[in-house]
A and B are shown apart, each in its own frame.
Chain A
Amino acid sequence: MTFAMIRRGLVYILLSLAAFVSIFPFYWMVVGATNTSAEIIKGKSSLGDALWLNATAFFTQVDAVRIFWNSGVIAVVATVLTLAVSSLAGYGFEMFRSRIRERLFGFLLLLLSIPFAAMMVPLFVMFSQAKLVNTFTAVILPTVASIFIIFYFRQATKAFPRELRDAAKIDGLKEWQIFLYVYLPVMRSTYAAATIIVFMANWNNYLWPLVVLQTAENKTITLILSGLTAAYTPDYGMILFGTVLATLPTLFIFFLLQRRFVEGMLGAVK
């Protein structure tokens, strides 16, 4: 009994330590936004009074409305398109099985292991030939058909009751109506989980936007923050203020959809 209690105690210590390490950088980020750069790199970890200073510095250096608008438009459009295209494909692969499509699906899974770096150069040349460099279209288009999300939707569709589809067919619904009015509402949790994954991936996407977005007024907040950090003596107070702003949307979505996310993941792994 005592052994079990010691083990239990160790588990709590381990988890508390992990939780502390996980949360501390968030605390640091918020506190940092209220301190001056000099205080931050000297390790001051209590609230300061430089919030106004940091905010002013940030808003004078960064055209914040414009930059956040860019990030928002890219992330929202990319998420909507990705969910539409990938869930259609996941549904199609699972509901209408045929030998050719099974092979094709296996081939797509193989492609999943090819890193983005291997496509980056040709993609860049393609978009420069199409004169689309420095446009949101160029940022969004290559991300829309995501093999990972197609795979995710296909896995989740395995749990979708086929009887629902059969019943809807008997009621005379067309295939697209079944998808829209039966499948979509039933799979809410899956869509919620996918929304978190895809929105975050696009909001935070770095390498490809870095390559295609070239003028300051078209850049995303992620690119701008990285640029500020790369300065010879970065103004950490101002940057951490910007980092808090940039993290708020993803944190918001995270907490809004967290429960559904775990449900959705459960469905996918089953």
Chain B
Amino acid sequence: MAQARLDRKEQITGWVFIAPALVLLGLFMIYPIVWSLWMSFQVGKGMNLSFGGFANILRLTKDAVFLRALGNTFTFFIFQVPIMIVLALLFAVALNDSTLKFRGFFRTAIFLPCATSLIAYSTVFKSMFAIDGVVNQTLMELHLISAPISWLGDPFWAKVLIIMAITWRWTGYNMIFYLAALQNIDRSIYEAARIDGVPAWARFRYLTIPMLKPVILFTTVISTIGTLQLFDEVYNFSAGTGGPSDSTLTLSLYIYNLTFKFMPSFGYSATVSWVIVVLVGILSFLQFMVARDRRTS
């Protein structure tokens, strides 16, 4: 940071440049966040709210639907994020090889799903995974399954479908971050390692992974936030119910239902939304800790 101290005029200019963003963020982000924190301690229906202390938090522990939604959200997170990150990394490393043919085609193809809306692709998936649909037919022709799978009707397979769908949509997005980072890595380090006889997997494990760590951490945190907020896909797959039998109900969908579908209880739904905030906080913290540990060992 070899730069001269800002003079008074530049100090003011700095504030002027960020002022519009600050005003908007204050009004439409910080104020609602503070308000919702306050709301989460309020009980009552509609706008008739009164202070309830920890009543909402107690209610959480006894709310079977909430616990179900929490469990589902966690299941999606545990399976989806690692699968996607590993796939994205694999594709990025494969595509980073400049001797590979059709690189541009592969990159565009894998990145293409990002151009679809969450609603558009979940509709397409819903029609592909119909009981007599193209996916079941193909699986049966390949003799991988003997009877059609009820992707939308079975609680287990409905979850699998959601995980596959999200992975389809977001793997290419994460891959682009890794590709960009890989292209910034100095090639001579790899050359030196290769000449020293370091095998490919070891180069990947001890050179690529450590150098990509900041980007991996960034994408993992971003994906964690995204998965914990999962709404569009489950809403569209289940026509808003989170079915079959609440098996795809997520925290965000539950908040939506609490606020706009049932008798609105703003206070309690704010409490549920803060559960997501706390979860994101804890998980991001853990991910930072894991990343730091690896560095020292």
Contacts and interface: CB of A to CB of B under 8 A. Distances in A.
B35 to A, nearest CB: 4
A14 B94 contact: yes
Contacts, number: 281
Contact of B280 (A84, A91, A115, A175): A115
B248 interface: no
B274 to A, nearest CB: 6
Interface string B119-132: 11111111110111
Interface string B249-271: 00110011001100000100110
B33 A114 contact: yes
Contacts of B105: 19
Interface centre among B13, B97, B228 (most CB of A within 10 A): B13
Contact of A115 (B16, B100, B229): B229
B95 to A, nearest CB: 7
B269 to A, nearest CB: 6
A11 B177 contact: no
Nearest to A116: B229
Contacts of A117: 229, 231, 251-252, 255-256, 272-273, 276
Interface size grouping (class) on chain B: 35 or more
A143 to B, nearest CB: 8
Interface stretch (B22-30, B51-59, B289-297): B22-30
Interface in B78-137: 87, 90-91, 94-95, 97, 100, 105-106, 108-110, 112-128, 130-137
Nearest to A174: B13
A119 B115 contact: no
Interface string B15-49: 11110111011001111110110010000000100
Contacts of B270: 118, 121-122
B109 A120 contact: no
A230 B239 contact: yes
Interface string A237-268: 00110010011001100100010001001101
A98 B181 CA distance: 29
B106 A121 contact: no
Interface string A120-161: 111111100000000000000110110100100000000000
B177 A269 contact: yes
B124 A29 contact: yes
Interface of B: 1, 3, 6, 10-11, 13-18, 20-22, 24-25, 28-33, 35-36, 39, 47, 87, 90-91, 94-95, 97, 100, 105-106, 108-110, 112-128, 130-137, 168, 172, 176-177, 179-181, 183-184, 200, 215, 221, 225, 228-229, 231-232, 235-236, 239-240, 251-252, 255-256, 259-260, 266, 269-270, 272-274, 276-277, 280-281, 284
Interface of A: 7, 11, 14-15, 18-19, 21-23, 25-26, 28-29, 32, 40-45, 84-86, 88-89, 91-93, 95-98, 101, 104, 108, 111-126, 141-142, 144-145, 147, 150, 162, 175, 179, 200, 203-204, 206-207, 211, 222, 225-226, 229-230, 234, 236, 239-240, 243, 246-247, 250-251, 254, 258, 262, 265-266, 268-270
